[in-house]
Amino acid sequence: MSIKIYLPTEYFYLKRTCNLYGQLHISEDNVVVYYVMDVDSYKPDSDSNKMRFLGAILCNDSFADSSYCRSHDMILCFTYTKDSPNISLIFTGITPERLKPIKLILYDQEIVRSLVVKGQNTLNHWTREGHDECDFYMLAHLVQPKPDVCSNSAGLSFYGSRPLSLLANMPMQLLENIIGNTFVNSIITHTVIYRHYKEWQLIYANGSRLSNIIIDRALGIILMLTLFTLVSHPGDYLIQISHIIINQLYSLLKVLEGSPIGLKLNIHLNNFFLDCFKYHIELWSTFLDLIEPIVRQIFLAIGAFGCFGLTYQIALLADLISIVGLHAHCFYVYTKVLNNVELKGLSVLWQVVRGNRYNILRNRTEAHNYMNRQLYLATIFFSAILFLFPTTLVYYIVFATLKALTSATLAILDFIRRKLLNFPIDIFLKYFRKGFNEIDSLRVLDIPLQKQLVFTHRNSEILIFVYKLQV
């Protein structure tokens, strides 16, 4: 069993009486670790979940014996003299019978506070995932400031004053009340804007990406002002795009009407598909003409959502693209169902034509004697589906490609939206300010002392080795 003491560097050379506050941790391998984090400036009502009273640094003349420390509920005590340049350890409340050399590790709070692990600027997730047995992770977690304090101070410094902060949060409070309505919530549950609202609220509550939220809102307001001041009738662009998509679909069906890339399609099935899809497009075009005034206002809503942030505008644009491309999605579903039905029919009838069947009880394919009329009907249906399958496959490939392009566009928008919120801006700012330190860059250096420190335990002297954390 051994003892480790993490002590801020400036306290190691402190020459005044003061109390020590921090935390105590006993690992699974019975290593006692003392984390000293602060001295007399500690207040019981702040960070009480992280810090506790550990002991004190006393003048060597005022110290009597170990009973003095126990009477004052100390578990760690140092002393200093005028002759020695540093303090000395004279008491620990938890001391094993067989004690190995004690390790006194000095650290700089600013360096440890700026540690970054796997692209994150906090270490809370490491301690939650069971990494608390590592001293460095535990130390960095303890010295991290409280997220709510950081978020409040940074928010007020950005908006300038509390009234401006309340004014800036009014649109978000309005959106929260609207989405909280039961009727509205049931309508938009499966939309991108609702999913983004939940993600945004989670990030804002954690307070780990405040810089991203500030930049997101600033970009949204800039885009909103650009749309409302420099662009006249922005809703017209959306209507034009909708009609362009419809015209392109008509052109695509016209290409499929002949022999695309030299393929000989079934005339009757091809005409049936063309009539169905053209009717569907005409129906959708009529529907867009009816909702044209609403669509114009929706585009204005995209601009107005700049009050919430650019990511909200991107989320609303993704929902709008899904609505405009709904008819293309329907075409994909139709052709996919027909293609799967024909594939299943061909696979089943192929077994019948070969004189086999699938035995459900034995879970295998085995030979079977079919009657002549069964083989005759199976051959007719197999031949019919086989000759119709290329036509269905061509339509399925065309509309599956169209669906893939739409999904790729939505995926790009979703990637941009998430990156704007999760991009580690704080880490880059720390890097440019030279306040960025990776956990793997820490070095433990041996500190040479004029006089070897020892700790008296059970009438025996235990060596104390002093190290320092550096990057």
What pLDDT digit, counting tens, does each position of 219-258 carry? 888 888 887 777 666 667 777 877 888 888 888 888 888 7
- The tokens describing 415, both together, are 């990637």
Q: Which residues, including other chains, have CB under 8 Å from residue 200's CB and lie 6 or more apart?
A: 213, 309, 311, 312, 421
**What torsion, rounded to 10 degrees, do the Cα atoms 397, 399, 403, 406 define?**
120
- pLDDT > 70: what percent of the chain? 81
**Mean pLDDT value across residues 102-120:** 74
Q: Is the pLDDT of residue 400 over 70?
A: yes
C-alpha span between 55 and 313 (Å, rounded): 55
- CA 466 to chain centroid: 40
Average pLDDT over residues 363-390: 86
CA–CA separation, 33 and 133 (whole Å)? 10
Secondary structure class of 365 (helix, strand, coil): strand
pLDDT of residue 168: 60
Taking the C-alpha atoms of 20, 22, 23 and 29 in order, what is their torsion angle to the nearest 10 degrees? -70
Give the pLDDT band of residue 333 (cuts 50, 70, 90).
Answer: very high
Q: In this model, does residue 85 exceed pLDDT 90?
A: no
Q: Quick check: helix, strand or coil at residue 237?
A: helix
Q: pLDDT confidence of 411, banded at 50, 70, 90?
A: very high
pLDDT(282) > 50: yes
Under 8 Å between Cβ of 365 and 358? yes
CA-atom Rg of the chain in angstroms: 36
State yes or no: pLDDT of 166 exceeds 80.
no
Indicate if the pLDDT at residue 120 is higher than 70. no
Q: What confidence category does residue 217 fall into, taking pLDDT thresholds of 50, 70 and 90?
A: confident
* Whether the predicted pLDDT of 157 surpasses 60: no
The yes-or-no verdict on residue 368 having pLDDT over 50 is yes
Lowest mean pLDDT across 30-34, 245-249, 413-417, 433-437: 433-437
d(CA 108, CA 119): 21
Calculate the average pLDDT of the chain. Answer: 79
For residues 321 and 245, give the distance between their C-alpha atoms in angstroms, rounded to a whole number: 11
Range among 93-102, 223-232, 389-398, 416-425 with highest mean pLDDT value: 389-398
Which two structure tokens, joined as six digits, stand for 185? 């919530």
